[in-house]
């Protein structure tokens, strides 16, 4: 478990935001989303691979992302997810909320009692 | 189809993921096999993920529901007998409920098909006995405190109200009447409505073809030949062809031109159930519907016209009523001669959204009774199904325990039980809508006279289906409660271990028995009510009307005023009477102004010559009596016995002494046993003094319910203006054989004269009992269904009880009990249940019968035949239904039964 020690478990409810962020940079297939999140976070986050797909389906069902079938890098059929307009708005909203929350939490935890 | 693709795609996507992950791991140096293994471990169970993916799409609930439904269907297929009985009993009850609901909606709540019907107000009045208004034609009734209430006005008063109207949004006038119409060569009777010029614009009714009647059509009295026809007449006579526009139809011999077709659903303002056929301007009244020489349009003394207006929004009833009342008083004083002794009617406003003549008085009570009964029937069906479900409980209890033991959630089990119940009730509901559809088509026939077009149609609208759906859901939940609760309480260990001797058994048994007792009680109530109404119908049918109804054919002839002015109509009738008598097969012919047992009556007041008594204020005493204007051969044709003197004959002519025949009841009232022959009386008719020449037997008049009233008869040949008459032809030939030759005779006299309402006197009598017949027929149906359900209920619970007690019965037999004793034991148990239920039902029936007393005839609410008969029938049915289980119990083999456990 040595390797996993420096990784953090994902906070509840943040996977959706990470997926939105990942696909906001360009269409990706499921595995691509996983790779990109790991890449951006510098391998610091553990993502339960299985929980990725239900989350993708949920976001698609909610209309935040849309999908198309296309060719993957190794010339196989793959499903590519992209951000919709509604998804973009949600990403902005959630990012703003996240930043505020982080700021508030930081301020509280820094406070000298 | 889409679901299959979704599954494939999920599969593909996860496989792709594994593939990529494995490829990356191989690049990191793992062997192909190891990489694949690690990839699979990293991803985890694809089955679980796919389930979660489905859940994200909201499909999981649907899937589980589908599985529940499939399972429920499989369970139903396994026990088809149970399913059939449950669905059939639910379906019958649901069908009865839906049909009666749609009937109630149609008869009691249907509004006129015009925009904003709730704004419509019917203008009416209430007057005391000193009122200046005496001459009335149309809608008025005793108001309950000595005066009259009506909704008719004189034309001059309407004109005045219209001119000075500021409180209502438009004020329209109309008058309904039946008229003879010749449409494309066929003479027929139609329902006509004479309407004011603003009628269609105030109502806001847009025509589907052509133009509406306009104020210009109604401008000049005696003129304006525009007619609007109904959708029904357009369909019937013109096959919905646009050529109808511009065609001429003869309405009471006056030519009118069709200018428009009213929209489908618009019935005129009489009521929302039956439609007017033809609309013509009121200005045509003197031409198409003349009543005497004077035009009603200029007669201030004759009150006949219905008036409606639209209320403005935000104006209270009293803000409308008060100024209108002031206006009415002013108009009455302005148009009529009002002396100091006269009073003036007070204006009233009533809801007009359902027309002027809605059938509440006739139907409110019967329909409420029927609604209550169908409600009980529904309850009975629910209880029946719940009982059957409970009886299946043991078997299910085991199944539930197994499922719980294997990890099923309780919520899941409850849902499963509810799905099964709802599926049952949904099947019942579908069955019920089909049954209701049959009922919907049949009930109007029960209520309509066979010689007339259907009195109304029951329409299925969304509210009816919503009702059926609601009842389905409710019943499903209601009877599904018992198994659902059982699922909640089910325990893993105890039921799996359960042997037949369990502490909870007794309680369950009692639950079943009290349910059956309740079923017996409700069935008793329904059966007794059915008996009461059936006996009412029988009593009505066996009433001696005082005349002979068999072999009597009736039809009406209505000579129009323009062609047959006063006097000429008498000649026409005399000619026809003579000609009809000559038709082969005709034994006797007569005619009467009012046919018997047709819910109509002519009433008057007579003043006896030389009567010593003098009333208040020196006025002579007036006696109320009904009368009829009849043909010379009337008493012979109707077979009414003459008790004294003579009937009418050849010697009575227009110029001879004016004569009358009175019936025994009137003779008793006027002469108290003295000889009435040769005495004279006076009534408000132009004939003057009438000499009594004979006394005849009493006959019922308006209907069969009311006892024979005091009556007198006048020969029509001595009248001056008789108008339409109903002919009675006595013949032993059938209606089909007789009518063509009669029609030939009538057409020889006048090609445009239709024979109106051809029917037999028996049909005529039955028509006044249509409401009683409907209630009796439906109630008998409900009673039979209730009986069948009670039968199934008691059989089910006894069979269950015997099955559970096989062990005990085996021991009893092994210890020496005789099969006969066992049989008696089971029957005794069943009888106790029956007796308890029947007792309760008897009490309830006794109370209910008092509530429906006014609907009964010829019997007391506590009618012993119905009460005892109904109770006896239920007890007998209870015994019969438990006979089979009892026999089974008695034939138990002791050894087998003991080995069984």
pLDDT confidence tier of residue B516, bands split at 50, 70 and 90: confident
Best interface-test mutation with B: which of A30, A34, A37, A53 has the largest number of B CBs within 10 A?
Answer: A53
Sequence-distant (≥ 6) Cβ neighbours of residue B426 within 8 angstroms: B472, B476
Mean pLDDT computed over B413-436:
90
Tell whether A55 lies on the interface with B, counting CB pairs under 8 A: yes
Which of B722, B753, B784 is the last residue before a domain boundary? B753
Question: What is the DSSP annotation of B368-388?
Answer: HHHHHHHHHHHHHHHHHHHHH
Higher pLDDT, B157 or B290: B157
Residues B710, B700: Cα–Cα separation, whole Å: 10
Note whether residue B93 is domain-resident.
no
- A50, A74, A78 member nearest B49 (Cβ): A50
Which of B291, B316, B351 is the last residue before a domain boundary? B351
B479 and B577, same domain (yes or no):
no
- Residue-level pLDDT at B502: 43
Angle at B90 between CA B86 and CA B91, to 5 degrees: 115
pLDDT tens for B299-319 read 998 899 999 999 998 889 999
Other residues' Cβ atoms within 10 Å of the Cβ of residue B883: 16
Pairwise CB contact (< 8 Å): A50 & B45: yes
Pairwise CB contact (< 8 Å): B17 & A48: no
B400 and B521, same domain (yes or no):
yes
Note whether residue B758 is domain-resident.
no
B365 and B347, same domain (yes or no):
no
Pairwise CB contact (< 8 Å): B9 & A53: no
Residues B746, B758: Cα–Cα separation, whole Å: 13
Tell whether A30 lies on the interface with B, counting CB pairs under 8 A: yes
B402 and B336, same domain (yes or no):
no
B536 and B436, same domain (yes or no):
yes
Burial of B822-841, coded b for 16+ CB within 10 Å and e otherwise, reads bbebbbebbbebbbbbbebb
Tell whether A43 lies on the interface with B, counting CB pairs under 8 A: no
pTM: 0.76
Domain range for B810 is 360-542+770-900
Q: Smallest Cα–Cα separation from A50: which of B12, B19, B47?
A: B47
- Residue-level pLDDT at B617: 57
Note whether residue B74 is domain-resident.
no
Provide, as residue numbers in chain A, all residues whose Cβ is less than 8 Å from the Cβ of B21.
31, 49
- Residue-level pLDDT at B841: 94
B515 and B612, same domain (yes or no):
no
Provide, as residue numbers in chain A, all residues whose Cβ is less than 8 Å from the Cβ of B57.
57-58, 61
Provide, as residue numbers in chain A, all residues whose Cβ is less than 8 Å from the Cβ of B52.
50-51, 53-54
Q: Smallest Cα–Cα separation from B249: which of B264, B236, B237?
A: B237
Which of B301, B323, B351 is the last residue before a domain boundary? B351
CA B135, chain centre distance (Å): 34
CATH no., domain A3-110: 1.10.10.10
User: Among A103-107, B55-59, B606-610, which range has the highest average pLDDT?
Assistant: A103-107
C-alpha dihedral, B369 to B373 to B376 to B378, nearest 10°: -120
Tell whether A98 lies on the interface with B, counting CB pairs under 8 A: no
Note whether residue B65 is domain-resident.
no
**Residue B634 pLDDT > 90, yes or no?**
yes
Pairwise CB contact (< 8 Å): A53 & B52: yes
B489 and B395, same domain (yes or no):
yes
Tell me the CA distances in angstroms from B466 to B368, B377, B379, B439, B707, one per residue in order: 20, 19, 19, 18, 45
Pairwise CB contact (< 8 Å): B45 & A72: no
Share of chain B above pLDDT 90, in %: 44
Domains: count for chain B? 4
Tell whether A72 lies on the interface with B, counting CB pairs under 8 A: yes
**Which phi and psi (to 5°) does residue B483 adopt?**
-65, -30
Mean pLDDT computed over B257-274:
91
- Residue-level pLDDT at B501: 45
Contact residues, chain B to chain A, C-beta under 8 Å: 9-10, 12-14, 16-17, 19-21, 23, 42-45, 48-49, 52-53, 55-58
Residues B459, B476: Cα–Cα separation, whole Å: 26
Smallest CA–CA distance, residue A84 to chain B, in Å, is: 18
Residues B803, A74: Cα–Cα separation, whole Å: 70
Q: Smallest Cα–Cα separation from B224: which of B280, B172, B171?
A: B280
For residue B174, give both structure tokens.
């109309």
Provide, as residue numbers in chain B, all residues whose Cβ is less than 8 Å from the Cβ of A58.
56-57
- Residue-level pLDDT at B131: 86
For residue B713, give both structure tokens.
């008869």
B857 and B818, same domain (yes or no):
yes
Count of A-B CB contacts under 8 Å: 59
Smallest CA–CA distance, residue B411 to chain A, in Å, is: 24
If you ran DSSP here, which 8-state letter would residue B659 be given?
A: E
For chain A (113 residues), the mean pLDDT of every run of 10, in chain order, is: 52 82 88 87 80 88 88 80 91 92 91 74
Is the reported ipTM for this assembly greater than 0.85? Answer: no
B332 and B407, same domain (yes or no):
no
B25 and B147, same domain (yes or no):
no
So where are chain A's domains? 3-110
Mean pLDDT computed over B188-202:
93
pLDDT confidence tier of residue B292, bands split at 50, 70 and 90: low
B502 and B588, same domain (yes or no):
no
- Residue-level pLDDT at B163: 93
Tell whether A38 lies on the interface with B, counting CB pairs under 8 A: no
- B14, B19, B58 member nearest A53 (Cβ): B14
B748 and B801, same domain (yes or no):
no
Tell me the CA distances in angstroms from B853 to B537, B779, B789, B862, one per residue in order: 14, 16, 27, 10
- Residue-level pLDDT at B513: 81
Provide, as residue numbers in chain A, all residues whose Cβ is less than 8 Å from the Cβ of B19.
74, 76
Smallest CA–CA distance, residue B30 to chain A, in Å, is: 17
* Residue B276 · residue B175 · CB < 8 Å: no
Pairwise CB contact (< 8 Å): B16 & A61: no
| Pick from B110-124, B270-284, B387-401, B814-828: least confident | B387-401
Smallest CA–CA distance, residue B15 to chain A, in Å, is: 10
Residues B457, B107: Cα–Cα separation, whole Å: 10
């Amino acid at each position: 478990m040595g390797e996993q020690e420096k990784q953090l478990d994902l906070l509840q409810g943040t996977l959706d935001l990470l997926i939105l962020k990942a696909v906001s940079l360009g269409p990706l297939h499921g595995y691509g989303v996983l790779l990109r999140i790991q890449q951006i976070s510098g391998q610091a986050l553990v993502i339960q691979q299985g929980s990725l797909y239900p989350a993708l389906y949920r976001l698609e069902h909610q209309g935040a992302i849309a999908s198309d079938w296309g060719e993957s890098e190794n010339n196989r059929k793959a499903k590519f997810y992209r951000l919709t307009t509604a998804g973009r708005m949600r990403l902005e909203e959630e990012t703003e909320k996240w930043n505020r929350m982080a700021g508030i939490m930081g301020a509280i935890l820094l406070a000298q009692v | 189809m889409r679901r299959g693709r979704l599954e494939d795609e999920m599969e593909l996507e996860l496989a792709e993921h594994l593939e990529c992950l494995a490829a990356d791991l191989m690049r990191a140096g793992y062997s192909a096999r190891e990489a694949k293994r690690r990839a699979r471990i990293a991803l985890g169970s694809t089955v679980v993920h796919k389930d979660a993916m489905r859940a994200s799409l909201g499909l999981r609930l649907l899937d589980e529901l589908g599985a529940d439904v499939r399972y429920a269907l499989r369970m139903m297929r396994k026990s088809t007998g149970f399913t059939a009985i449950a669905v059939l009993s639910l379906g019958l009850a649901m069908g009865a409920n839906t049909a009666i609901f749609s009937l109630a909606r149609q008869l009691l709540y249907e509004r006129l098909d015009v925009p904003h019907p709730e704004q419509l107000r019917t203008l009416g009045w209430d007057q005391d006995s000193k009122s200046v208004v005496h001459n009335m034609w149309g809608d008025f009734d005793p108001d309950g405190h000595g005066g009259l209430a009506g909704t008719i006005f004189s034309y001059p008063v309407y004109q005045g109200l219209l001119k000075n109207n500021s409180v209502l949004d438009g004020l329209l006038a109309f008058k309904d009447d039946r008229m003879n119409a010749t449409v494309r060569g066929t003479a027929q009777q139609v329902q006509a409505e004479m309407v004011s010029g603003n009628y269609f614009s105030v109502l806001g009714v847009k025509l589907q073809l052509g133009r509406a009647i306009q104020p210009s059509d109604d401008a000049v009295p005696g003129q304006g030949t525009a007619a609007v026809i109904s959708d029904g007449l357009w369909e019937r006579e013109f096959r919905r062809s646009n050529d109808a526009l511009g065609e001429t139809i003869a309405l009471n011999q006056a030519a009118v031109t069709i200018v428009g077709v009213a929209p489908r659903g618009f019935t005129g303002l009489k009521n929302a159930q039956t439609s007017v056929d033809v609309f013509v301007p009121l200005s045509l009244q003197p031409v198409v519907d003349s009543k005497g020489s004077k035009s009603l349009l200029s007669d201030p003394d004759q009150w006949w016209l219905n008036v409606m207006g639209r209320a403005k929004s935000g104006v209270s009833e009293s803000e409308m009523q008060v100024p209108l009342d002031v206006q009415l008083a002013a108009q009455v004083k302005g148009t009529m001669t009002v002396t100091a002794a006269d009073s003036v009617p007070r204006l009233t406003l009533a809801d007009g959204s359902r027309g002027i003549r809605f059938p509440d008085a006739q139907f409110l009570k019967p329909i409420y009774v029927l609604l209550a009964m169908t409600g009980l029937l529904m309850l009975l069906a629910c209880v029946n199904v719940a009982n059957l479900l409970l009886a299946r409980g043991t078997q299910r209890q085991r199944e539930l325990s197994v499922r719980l033991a294997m990890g099923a959630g309780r919520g899941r089990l409850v849902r499963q039980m509810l799905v099964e119940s709802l599926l049952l009730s949904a099947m019942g509901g579908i069955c019920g809508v089909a049954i209701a559809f049959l009922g919907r088509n049949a009930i109007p026939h029960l209520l309509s006279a066979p010689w007339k077009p259907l009195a109304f149609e029951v329409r299925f609208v969304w509210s009816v289906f919503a009702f059926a759906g609601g009842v389905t859901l409710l019943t499903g939940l209601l009877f599904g409660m018992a198994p659902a609760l059982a699922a909640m309480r089910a325990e893993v260990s105890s039921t799996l271990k359960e042997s037949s001797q369990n502490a909870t058994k007794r309680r369950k048994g009692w639950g079943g028995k009290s349910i059956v007792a309740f079923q017996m009680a409700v069935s008793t109530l329904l059966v007794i009510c059915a008996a009461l109404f059936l006996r009412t119908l029988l009593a009505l049918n066996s009433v001696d009307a005082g005349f002979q109804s068999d072999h009597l054919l009736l039809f009406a002839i209505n000579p129009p005023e323009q062609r047959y002015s006063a006097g000429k109509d008498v000649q026409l009738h005399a000619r026809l009477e003579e000609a009809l008598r000559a038709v082969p097969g005709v034994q006797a012919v007569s005619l009467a102004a009012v046919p018997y047992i047709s819910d109509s009556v002519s009433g008057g007041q007579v003043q006896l010559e030389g009567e010593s008594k003098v009333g208040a204020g020196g006025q002579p005493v007036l006696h109320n009596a009904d009368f009829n204007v009849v043909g010379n051969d009337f008493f012979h044709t109707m077979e009414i016995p003459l008790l004294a003197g003579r009937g009418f004959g050849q010697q009575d002519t227009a110029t001879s002494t004016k004569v009358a025949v009175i019936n025994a009841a009137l003779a008793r009232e006027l002469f108290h046993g003295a000889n009435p022959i040769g005495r004279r009386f006076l009534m408000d008719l132009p004939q003057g003094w009438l000499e009594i020449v004979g006394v005849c037997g009493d006959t019922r008049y308006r209907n069969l319910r009311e006892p024979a009233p005091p009556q007198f008869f006048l020969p029509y040949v001595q009248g001056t203006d008789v108008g339409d008459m109903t002919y009675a032809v006595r013949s032993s030939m059938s209606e089909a054989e007789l009518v063509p030759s009669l029609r030939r005779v009538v057409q020889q006299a006048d090609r445009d004269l239709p024979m109106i309402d051809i029917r037999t006197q028996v049909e005529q009598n039955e028509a006044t009992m249509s409401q009683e017949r409907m209630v009796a027929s439906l109630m008998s149906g409900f009673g039979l269904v209730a009986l069948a359900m009670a039968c199934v209920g008691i059989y089910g619970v006894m069979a269950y009880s015997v099955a559970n007690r096989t062990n005990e019965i085996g021991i009893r037999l092994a210890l020496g009990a005789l099969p006969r004793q066992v049989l008696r034991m089971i029957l005794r148990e069943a009888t106790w249940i029956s007796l308890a239920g029947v007792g309760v039902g008897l009490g309830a029936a006794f109370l209910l019968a008092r509530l429906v007393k006014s609907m009964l005839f010829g019997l007391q609410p506590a009618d012993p035949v119905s009460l005892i008969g109904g109770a006896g029938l239920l007890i007998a049915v209870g015994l019969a239904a438990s006979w089979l289980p009892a026999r089974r119990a008695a034939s138990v083999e002791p050894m087998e039964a003991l080995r069984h456990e």
